[in-house]
Structure 1
Amino acid sequence: MIKFSVSCRYADAGVRDEFKPNTIDVIADVKTERVVVLGGSGFVGSAICKNAVSKGIEVISLSRSGRPTSPSPWVDQVTWIPGDVFYVNWDEVLVGATAVVSTLGGFGSEEQMRRINGEANVVAVNAAKEYGIPKFILISVHDYNLPSFLLSSGYFTGKRKAESEVLSKYPNSGVVLRPGFIYGKRRVDGFEIPLDWIGEPVERILRATENFTKPLSSLPASDVLLTSPVSVDDVASAAINAISDDDFFGIFTIEQIKEAAEKVRV
């Protein structure tokens, strides 16, 4: 909350005292975004942190690895908290936040995937709701039109469980982004893996041939080959748009993610 005064003066010395204006106190609400990124030191999480910092948003990251090793200047502008969502003291993370973005997810055994993709996000959603955080954004995954027996894996069931929790607890402000293959420059153990060398050409090819391949989209598992990749910057920009746009909620497909990203860049 910012309070400031407006004072008006007249050059005419003949103005009577009773008509001389007084100082006016004006109260203005200035919204300051304070975003918590869960998994902020990961591939997608770090892109969201970087994008948010560039927009002047205050960013707090909670991840098991804490501060990343990247020497980029934006890293110094993020508050890095090492911790696990199952054991963290949420007072140190959520107080004063205006939105939570979760990039939590991963592969492993069936039990591990259900826990990290589903249960971890459910814990985070409920904590955010308990602390009165007005918006929750989940980075989920496209289902690739896979047959049901493949979608029953711990990875997909965990993600869908997390989605349900977001949309249940935040029916009018929860956001679920469903990207497919995410490309960009990914750092692993100090080495940079240029996933954009694969993702960008494939995205261009699929975009150029979409009129020919669209009739095939109804075939089971066809999306595995026909779904367009999406850049990590587009996913990050869409998340930033979700933070700032109160009319942006619900489930968003790959094309809708790209459209939302374009709004932020304009």
Structure 2
Amino acid sequence: MSATKRIVVFGGNGFLGSRICRAAVARNWDVTSVSRSGTPHWSSVTSSPSPPSWSHKVSWERGDIFRPAQWTPLLHNADYVVHSLGILLEADYKGVISGRESPISGLKKAFSPSHAGAHSPNPLERVREQGAREPGIEPPSSPAQLTYEMMNRDSAILLAKEAAKEGVKAFGYVSAAAGAPVLPSRYVTTKREAEAVVAREFPEMRGPPFMYDKSRGVTMGVAAMATAGSVVNGLTGGVLGGFLGAAVTKPLKADLVADAVVEALADESIKGPIEVPQLEELATRAWRKSMV
């Protein structure tokens, strides 16, 4: 009998991350979630405020992705590590929800062409150039300081670096493809930069950077960004409905994507970007296995 697989999901308490945890539990894997808040707020990721039965089989850990000392011990003996963290708007989410910051302010930040202090596309180069101690990036002091460069790119590269050091077999990254009309260009470019750096810097670690799109012309990141259009449209009172167009409707169900993520991690032949047709094939394969 094969040994139990162990997976660590960063952002496991989020919309997609929680579903990845569920799919891994269904395979009887040892599952650990790492996030700033630990246990999910179930009403925000499921239809019920009560924790589902499978959640009791997950170890819900707290940890700041930018403070590796808090979570590197959790990577020991892990077979798979998944990065499902990301931000849609460069805004203080709590501020937007409570009314302290308007959704329009968040949109202005998000669609700015550049960000001061964005630095090199590779935080590892900053470590080498500056002779700085690891991880080579200062943690943000508040949610309002989170940028696409930090959250979508740098955090993924730092996590991949630590996972590689621990000998993790496969690293799953929630990426994005070019051409998303509803999302700021920097959302997409920072995802792609992370994908390129992880593949180049850590070739010994199998890395399926997950993508999905709609004919690659209308593309959204696979994480909770699957519902990004509807979230933005809701926050702005529907005023952006015409601009968002079809992107307001999520292209794929998060459960389907989560099943595909776990199936791809388990399949050693899967490498490189995975888009809609293959995601659907992987999810179907996973569903068939669950029926056996």
Q: Fold match, TM over 0.5?
A: yes
Name 1:82's counterpart in structure 2. Answer: 62
Deviations 1:231-253 (A, max 9, x none): 10111011111221100111111
Q: Which has the larger radius of gyration?
A: 1
Letter in 1 for 2:275: T
After TM superposition, give the deviation of residue 99 of structure 1 in Å: 0.5
Name 1:255's counterpart in structure 2. Answer: 277
Choose from 30, 35, 38 the match for 1:66.
38
Choose from 80, 95, 105 the match for 1:99.
80
Letter in 2 for 1:265: W
CA distance, structure 1, for counterparts of residue 19 and residue 189 of structure 2: 26
Q: Contact 2:208–2:271 at 8 Å: present in 1 too?
A: yes
Choose from 235, 248, 259 the match for 2:257.
235
Deviations 1:194-253 (A, max 9, x none): 99xxxxxxxxxxxxxxxxxxxxxxxxxxx976x980110111011111221100111111
Paired-residue identity, %? 31
Choose from 153, 174, 183 the match for 2:207.
174
Unaligned ranges ≥5, structure 2: 43-50, 91-108, 110-114, 119-146, 214-219, 232-244
Change (3 A) 1:122 1:156: same
Name 1:165's counterpart in structure 2. Answer: 197
Q: Contact 2:84–2:223 at 8 Å: present in 1 too?
A: no
Change (3 A) 1:73 1:151: closer
Unaligned ranges ≥5, structure 1: 1-28, 188-193, 196-222
User: For this pair of structures, how many residues does the alignment match?
Assistant: 200
TM-score normalised to structure 2 length: 0.61
Change (3 A) 1:171 1:97: closer
CA distance, structure 2, for counterparts of residue 118 and residue 183 of structure 1: 14
Cα RMSD over matched residues? 3.0
5 Å-filtered alignment, 1:1-266, equals: 30-70=2-42, 71-89=51-69, 90-107=71-88, 108=90, 109=109, 110=115, 112-144=147-179, 153-168=185-200, 169-170=202-203, 173-180=206-213, 181=220, 229-266=251-288
Moved more, 165-174 or 125-134: 165-174
CA distance, structure 1, for counterparts of residue 250 and residue 184 of structure 2: 23
Deviations 1:105-150 (A, max 9, x none): 113144511110000001001110111111101111232366xxx9
Partner of 1:93: helix, strand, or coil? helix
Change (3 A) 1:44 1:151: closer
After TM superposition, give the deviation of residue 172 of structure 1 in Å: 6.7
Letter in 2 for 1:63: S
Q: Contact 1:50–1:75 at 8 Å: present in 2 too?
A: yes
More strand by share: 1
Letter in 1 for 2:259: S
CA distance, structure 2, for counterparts of residue 177 and residue 163 of structure 1: 9
Change (3 A) 1:123 1:259: same
Q: Contact 2:177–2:192 at 8 Å: present in 1 too?
A: no
Name 2:216's counterpart in structure 1. Answer: none
After TM superposition, give the deviation of residue 171 of structure 1 in Å: 6.3
Q: Contact 1:125–1:165 at 8 Å: present in 2 too?
A: no
